[in-house]
Structure 1
Amino acid sequence: MSELSYPKSKVNRVNRLGERGKYECKAVHEIIMASPVVHVSFHPGSLEDYPVILPMIGKLGSFENPSADLSEPLDLYLHGYVSSRIMNIARGSSDEQPMKVCVCATKVDGLVLTLTPNSHSMNYRSSVIFGTVELVTNLDEKLYAMKLITNGVIPGRYDDTRVPPDSAEMQSTQILRVTIDHASAKVRTGQPSDYEKDMKRDDLREKCWTGVVPVYQAFGEPQEASYNRVKEVPEYISNYVKEAGDAEREYAVAAIQMAPSDKS
């Protein structure tokens, strides 16, 4: 069975170095879920206003189908303060004039160093989604999204805290659901690649170091709060710190040896 993919369109098609493009749901979704922060862009209203980009915590899930995995259609949930600008704009939208957003997530996996400035690059994974926003008003869906987002910080965290949130917290927090209309990913892996004219120059190759510097997110030793009374760091936290850190490092190193998708 073939993987579910986002259809290519003029909105999501990767034009520059199109061979790097990926449209499979799983490929797009994995990058978003691996990114601690996503950047949400939208237009604030008046044509005289500047476009806005906000760093936000966003996680993918399906309230209607909670068991859905990353290879299936999912919604993106974002949370923020009830009176923030993005929430106010979403509140003022309608079916006839819906709020639309573009959301980007990027992971840098390596610094690609070559013989000439023009061919320097990075190993990276990036996803861009285009979607339509709705305010979540159903209480059960709101709680589902809050748990999804909290566990997106560290898996298992939500149930280890004071839950459910009280009424004041629920009123001050707003959840947005982004229905994904279009999406794609773009990935670079592999070694450096240089121009043939430079590869023929022994003097340049003997002078200029070339290679890839792996880049990955590292997690430090958990530091307790001044009011903490729990003697030992919970296992789910220490396990996540180790396992997630190891996975980040292993991918960044492995990406150097993966087949390149292009010559730059």
Structure 2
Amino acid sequence: MSEAEEYAKTPRSTVNRYKPRAVYDHATVHSIIDEAPVAHVSFNPTPLDDDPFPTILPMLACTGSYTKPGAEEKSAVGIYLHGHVASRLMRLPDTQSEDQSTLGLPGAPVCVAATLFDGVVLALTPFNHSCNYRSAVVHGFANIVVDEEEKSYALKLLTDNLVPGRWDNSRVPPTEAELKGTTVLRVDIASASAKIRGYAAGNDKADLANDEMRKRVWTGVVPAATVFGQPIAAAENLVVEVPEYIHSWIDGGNKARRAYSEVVASKAGPQK
């Protein structure tokens, strides 16, 4: 599956409101999932007859493609999640296995959503106020990763997606107890779409023609970005200097996110 490909538009995934903001290519959807500090995973833990309300959990998530050694074809990109073996989400594929078999589903159905907030858009009228953002919504089927090599791959991927290089710069490999107490889920993507707004305020022509009002009402964009602060050592820390890979991750990421939010704030775009 090439990153240049697009996810098929389905009734579930097609963006209907502000269609020009819709994006379906793999690279964009995956990058939003990977960059977002938190993803939200929704699922139905019980039959609808018992409880009609879905459960939504904030989690760490990242995309990845594990291909077994010797395999002829590369595996499709999926989303990896991890958690305690006793959590409802981690047990979901097993608890719903009978339903999956009956309905012919390839796993437990879940939805993964992630959003990056890039700025507050202040127009001349409150009805044209908006936000700059990048969001992705993915529907897929979750299964427990039972292959030990894939599980190790996913745990390292999740760790390094949070802080690049952290896996090799921490106490590894995990203990047997740590591995037994942790479940990894792979969400095989069934449909996905992204929606992006990244441009200046859109003001009505009638408002733009009112110079007196424009002299009174400020319009523009307040850029926003997730920024990490300076590291604070734990009481038990014995490392004298903060490692360079942590400084590089903080400084480089902060600079890139700030730059993006500031650049799109001045870009011309659709009227609204």
TM-score by length of 1: 0.93
Aligned twin of 1:56: 59
Aligned twin of 2:19: 18
**What amino acid is aligned across from residue 16 of structure 2 in structure 1?**
N
Deviation sequence 1:128-161 (CA, Å, 0-9, x none): 1110000011111111111000101100000111
Aligned twin of 1:210: 219
Alignment check: 8 A CA contact 2:3 2:27 kept:
no
Aligned twin of 2:137: 128
Alignment check: 8 A CA contact 1:25 1:73 kept:
no
2:248 equivalent to 1:239:
yes
Distance 1:197 1:249 in 2: 33
Match of 1:91 among 86, 91, 94: 94
Q: Aligned runs of 1:185-204 on 2, under 5 Å?
A: 185-204=194-213
Give 5+ residue unaligned stretches, structure 2.
70-74
2:268 equivalent to 1:263:
no
The count of residues paired between Structure 1 and Structure 2 equals 258
Distance 2:53 2:194 in 1: 26
Q: Aligned runs of 1:69-148 on 2, under 5 Å?
A: 73-94=76-97, 95-96=100-101, 97=105, 98-148=107-157
Alignment check: 8 A CA contact 1:44 1:50 kept:
no
Distance 2:211 2:120 in 1: 23
Aligned twin of 2:34: 33
Distance 1:171 1:51 in 2: 28
**What amino acid is aligned across from residue 226 of structure 2 in structure 1?**
Q
1:108 to partner: Cα distance? 0.9
1:65 to partner: Cα distance? 7.2
Alignment check: 8 A CA contact 1:127 1:183 kept:
yes
SS of the residue corresponding to residue 243 of structure 1 reads helix
1:88 to partner: Cα distance? 2.0
Deviation sequence 1:140-188 (CA, Å, 0-9, x none): 1111111000101100000111111111111111100000111111101
Alignment check: 8 A CA contact 2:151 2:184 kept:
yes
Aligned twin of 2:259: 250
CA gap 1:258/1:206 in 2 versus in 1, 3 angstroms? closer
Deviation sequence 1:9-48 (CA, Å, 0-9, x none): 1111111011110111001111111111100011122322
Moved over 6 A (4+): none
**What amino acid is aligned across from residue 61 of structure 2 in structure 1?**
G
CA gap 1:238/1:62 in 2 versus in 1, 3 angstroms? same
Distance 2:63 2:93 in 1: 19
Distance 1:127 1:2 in 2: 15
1:203 to partner: Cα distance? 2.3
Alignment check: 8 A CA contact 2:41 2:112 kept:
yes
Distance 2:268 2:77 in 1: 29
1:259 to partner: Cα distance? 4.0
TM-score by length of 2: 0.91
Distance 2:221 2:43 in 1: 35
Distance 1:146 1:255 in 2: 34
SS of the residue corresponding to residue 6 of structure 2 reads coil
1:196 to partner: Cα distance? 2.0
SS of the residue corresponding to residue 127 of structure 2 reads helix
1:110 to partner: Cα distance? 1.0
Alignment check: 8 A CA contact 1:59 1:148 kept:
yes
**What amino acid is aligned across from residue 38 of structure 1 in structure 2?**
A
2:232 equivalent to 1:229:
no
Give 5+ residue unaligned stretches, structure 1.
67-71
Identity of aligned residues (%): 42
